[in-house]
Amino acid sequence: MTTGSLTAGRARFRLPRRQIPVLATLVLLLVMYGIGVSQYQAFSNVQVIFNVFIDNSFLLVVAVGMTFVILTGGIDLSVGSVVAMTAMVSAWLLQEGLPAALVLVIALLIGPTLGLLMGCAIHFFEIQPFIVTLAGMFFARGMCTLISGASIPITDGFWTRMSQERIGNPQGNFVSISVLIAFVVVAIAAYTLAYTRLGRNVYAIGGNSQSALLMGLPLGRTRIAVYTISGLCSAIGGILLSFYTLSGAPLIAVGMELDVIAAVVIGGTVLTGGAGYVFGTVLGVLVLGVIQTLITFDGSLNSWWTKIVIGGLLFAFILLQRLIGIRYK
Amino acid sequence: MNDTMGRYRTVVGHRLFWPTAVLVVMLAANTIYRPGFLSIELKDGHLYGSPIDILRLSAPLILVALGMTLVISTGGIDLSVGSVCAISGAIACMYISKQTDQNSLAVVLTALAMALGVALVLGAWNGVLVAVIGIQPIIATLILMVAGRGLAQLITQGQIITINSEPFRAIGLGHLLTLPLAIFIALAAALLVAAFTRRTALGMIVESVGGNAEASRLAGIRSGRVIFLAYVLSAVCAAVAGFMMTANVSSADGNAVGLWVELDAILAVVIGGTSLAGGRFFLSGTILGALIIQTLTTSVYAMNISPQTSLLFKAVVVIAVCLIQAPAFRARFTRRRRNTPPPAAIADKPKEQVPA
């Protein structure tokens, strides 16, 4: 009882410090939204927010997977390519006339399988995650072009229905099914990280893998699991992207891994692992989405400003994390 | 028999053995596929042929990879090199395109100096983030990687800037002593870096910092300064590579120049045997690695396979090389082999004891 209250007291003392990055992201998001609303009348429309979710649902799902990997102190560079490969394989199989349900199963199996293999290479052969997932990235992107050099349109009934279905008021504000799927993924991920043994292991390994190993936590199993989860999230992201674009193209989602990493970092997850929340990642993705929306609304700013602003934000948040002194190397 | 066995072990055990073997196998495969692959001919006083092409095209990658080798050996990584290539190429082309006499050597030299100056600043930015503020290298350089592409597009206003300058074109396509000029630039850079790191104590200092920055600092090495210098050097190398890439096509495209070169460069460094953990570096290995990657790309082109598919082959090469180099993989492999003939391990022991 006493120990319980003691740790609770300590936790309350530490709480704000740990959550400053997430709070900072939240403040930033509100400020950016405020700027948008004060500058453009149409910005206050609820649909603007919904559109940010609709346009970034696939990014959100992939970023959630990346959060797991980064929390263990690893990195997954293959996500963008796996997203593209999933969309490409689905488009190709549908074109070949396979039933939608079967295509869905196959597409959702490829990502985790690749993730599992990469996780095994990282764990059993002790090759750096950076290099293994780089190879995975090359592999998946190569597979895309091997399937087809050109974009394949999707005309399947199930896909078009998923793409065009509007949830909410079709005349007023609505979201797509992809947004709901993304929210389900976020909820499951947040639950897993906060309340399950796997989640605790992820934080423990990211905090200090050596101590985690000495404590008897299953280092290998957890590590392999996070890359598999990331692969699964990329696969779901790929399906959502194919709903969004209704096609598979060999060069879609190029450089997406960097957007994803940026979103996770802006969301307050520390790249050396051990600290961060799925909620932060959601905010990080929203920040990227709102920047995009602001630049679209402005009209006079060109798309390259997005990259410069994201770079600047990355810098600001990393500096912030450094200043608060969250365990950074 | 033991002697040949020993010699076999030294050759196979040499860190350049596997990369060289891979390169030789690739060249052989190309020659089988296309018998004229290795032939070189003299035309208009210049040498032509696939091997020369491979050397010329690998020059930018060699440059970037040289800088990357130093950064990686300090225990860091530089993801921003591709963006630096794009920015330096964009600045040079932008300046040249605005001059009336694009063929003037002075104009080109001014453009190069300006771009190199900016590259120094960009390298210093990375260096400060890593060495002074102490941000993790992968994320510190990620900032410039993301923002740098935007900056390059900002400089070119999102357009592809085409220039018509003979002296600038020469950086990529010029010839010297029958060989492409680019080869000499890469060679000069390699020799320069090799001389500084292997003829002076600098190389050892870099390795000691990469091995343990804190211990080196306590031993009296200004680790911060060494790390800072590595990032500046990497940016300068990337800038020169950027000149070559833009000169090759006489145009600057903020989006395309140096795209994914950071990954190729890291790949070249790793193939060359330098560990990503830092503390040890091999310049000759890096150059060999860059040649392997370029040979791979060229062979894929020669076999009429879509260029993007070369990524698939790259993936196979990366995994193969990494597995061969991974101690854990080797241990598994050798343990299994040792298990089959156990007397060999015992037989070795008394032999060592005899001379003692």
Integer Cα distance of A282 and A72 in angstroms: 18
CB A153, CB A247: distance < 8 Å? yes
pTM: 0.81
Alpha helices in chain B (DSSP H): 2-13, 17-33, 50-73, 81-97, 105-127, 137-156, 166-173, 181-198, 202-211, 213-218, 223-249, 261-271, 283-302, 310-325, 327-339, 343-353
CB A126, CB B327: distance < 8 Å? yes
The burial class, CB within 10 Å (0-12 / 13-18 / 19+), for B2 is exposed
In sequence order, the β-bridge partners of residue A174 are A168
Integer Cα distance of B80 and A320 in angstroms: 21
Which whole number is the average pLDDT over B65-83? 91
Which whole number is the average pLDDT over A70-74? 91
Contact residues, chain B, for A223 at CB < 8 Å: none
Local confidence band at B349 (pLDDT 50, 70, 90 cut-offs): very low
Which of A75-84, B37-46, B121-130, B271-280 bottoms out in mean pLDDT, i.e. has the lowest? B37-46
CA distances from A76 to A67, A70, B15, B112, B278 (A): 10, 8, 28, 37, 20
What pLDDT, on a 0 to 100 scale, did the predictor assign at position B328?
72
Q: pLDDT tens digits for A196-246?
A: 999 999 999 988 888 888 888 888 899 999 999 999 999 999 999 999 988
The whole-angstrom distance between B34's CA and the closest CA on chain A is 23
Local confidence band at B71 (pLDDT 50, 70, 90 cut-offs): very high
What pLDDT, on a 0 to 100 scale, did the predictor assign at position A16?
62
Closest CA to B156 of B299, B260, B252: B252
What pLDDT, on a 0 to 100 scale, did the predictor assign at position B235?
95
Q: pLDDT tens digits for B44-62?
A: 777 777 788 888 889 999 9
Residue ranges of B 172-211 with Cβ closer than 8 A to chain A: none
Tell me which residue in B135, B149, B315 faces A138 most closely, judged by beta carbons: B315
∠ CA A111-A114-A119, rounded to 5°: 120
Q: Which residue of A has its CA nearest to B330?
A: A125
What pLDDT, on a 0 to 100 scale, did the predictor assign at position B342?
44
Local confidence band at B356 (pLDDT 50, 70, 90 cut-offs): very low
Closest CA to A278 of A179, A163, A199, A209: A199
∠ CA B97-B84-B235, rounded to 5°: 120
What pLDDT, on a 0 to 100 scale, did the predictor assign at position B2?
63
Q: pLDDT above 70 covers what percent of chain A?
A: 92
pLDDT at A302 over 90: no
The whole-angstrom distance between B181's CA and the closest CA on chain A is 31
Q: Which residue of B has its CA nearest to A314?
A: B143
The whole-angstrom distance between B318's CA and the closest CA on chain A is 6
Local confidence band at A76 (pLDDT 50, 70, 90 cut-offs): very high
Q: Which residue of A has its CA nearest to B310?
A: A142
Q: Which residue has the higher pLDDT, A301 or A27?
A: A27
Contact residues, chain A, for B146 at CB < 8 Å: 258, 262, 307, 310-311, 314
* Structure token pair of residue A198: 């796997």
What pLDDT, on a 0 to 100 scale, did the predictor assign at position B346?
40
CB A258, CB A17: distance < 8 Å? no
In this predicted complex, what is the ipTM?
0.76
Contacts of B94 (CB under 8 A, 6+ apart): B155, B156, B161, B252
The whole-angstrom distance between B321's CA and the closest CA on chain A is 11
A146 touching chain B per CB within 8 A: yes
Contact residues, chain A, for B145 at CB < 8 Å: 258
Please answer yes or no on whether A261 and B150 come within 8 Å at the CB atom.
no
pLDDT at B35 over 60: yes
The DSSP element (H or E) to which A211 belongs, if any, is: helix A209-214
φ/ψ of residue B302, rounded to 5: -65, -30
Which of A139-143, A169-173, A221-225, B73-77 bottoms out in mean pLDDT, i.e. has the lowest? A169-173
CB B171, CB B247: distance < 8 Å? yes
CA distances from B135 to A123, A246, B141, B265 (A): 26, 41, 9, 22
Which whole number is the average pLDDT over B221-241? 91
In sequence order, the β-bridge partners of residue B113 are none
pLDDT at A1 over 50: no
Residue ranges of A 169-228 with Cβ closer than 8 A to chain B: none
pLDDT at A184 over 90: yes
Any idea what DSSP says for residue A175? E
Q: Which residue of A has its CA nearest to B255?
A: A304
pLDDT at A137 over 50: yes
Instruction: Give the SS3 label for residue B243.
Output: helix
Q: Which residue of A has its CA nearest to B275?
A: A128
CA distances from A152 to A127, A243, B172, B175, B314 (A): 36, 13, 37, 44, 25
pLDDT at A15 over 80: no
Which whole number is the average pLDDT over A159-173? 79
Please answer yes or no on whether A131 and B306 come within 8 Å at the CB atom.
no
Contact residues, chain A, for B133 at CB < 8 Å: 319, 322
pLDDT at A300 over 70: yes
CA distances from A315 to A20, A311, B6, B126, B144 (A): 16, 6, 53, 11, 9
Contact residues, chain B, for A124 at CB < 8 Å: 328
What pLDDT, on a 0 to 100 scale, did the predictor assign at position A12?
47
Residue ranges of A 56-85 with Cβ closer than 8 A to chain B: 75
Q: How far out from the chain centre does Cα B193 lie?
A: 12
Integer Cα distance of B95 and B346 in angstroms: 71
pLDDT at B123 over 90: yes
What pLDDT, on a 0 to 100 scale, did the predictor assign at position B355?
40
What pLDDT, on a 0 to 100 scale, did the predictor assign at position B157?
84
CA distances from B336 to A165, B321, B327, B329, B331 (A): 57, 20, 14, 11, 8
* DSSP letters spanning A99-152: -HHHHHHHHHHHHHHHHHHHHHHHHHS---HHHHHHHHHHHHHHHHHHH-SS-E
Local confidence band at B341 (pLDDT 50, 70, 90 cut-offs): very low
Residue ranges of B 53-112 with Cβ closer than 8 A to chain A: 77
Please answer yes or no on whether B153 and A143 come within 8 Å at the CB atom.
no
Rg (CA), chain B: 22
Instruction: Give the SS3 label for residue B103.
Output: coil
Closest CA to A269 of B315, B136, B337, B272: B136
Which of A72-81, A186-195, B149-158, B210-219 bottoms out in mean pLDDT, i.e. has the lowest? B210-219
In sequence order, the β-bridge partners of residue B175 are B180
Closest CA to B234 of B204, B277, B266: B266
What pLDDT, on a 0 to 100 scale, did the predictor assign at position A5?
45
φ/ψ of residue A99, rounded to 5: -65, 150
The whole-angstrom distance between A143's CA and the closest CA on chain B is 7
What pLDDT, on a 0 to 100 scale, did the predictor assign at position A111?
93
Tell me which residue in B150, B308, B309 faces A308 most closely, judged by beta carbons: B150
Integer Cα distance of A245 and A241 in angstroms: 6
CB B161, CB B251: distance < 8 Å? yes
∠ CA B158-B164-B170, rounded to 5°: 110
Which whole number is the average pLDDT over B136-153? 87
Q: pLDDT tens digits for B79-121?
A: 899 999 999 999 999 898 888 877 788 888 998 999 999 999 9
- Which residue of B146, B259, B274, B318 to mutate against A (max A Cβ within 10 Å)? B146
pLDDT at A58 over 80: yes
| Three-state secondary structure of A2-18 | HHHHHHHHHHHHHHHHH
Q: Which residue has the higher pLDDT, A324 or A14?
A: A324
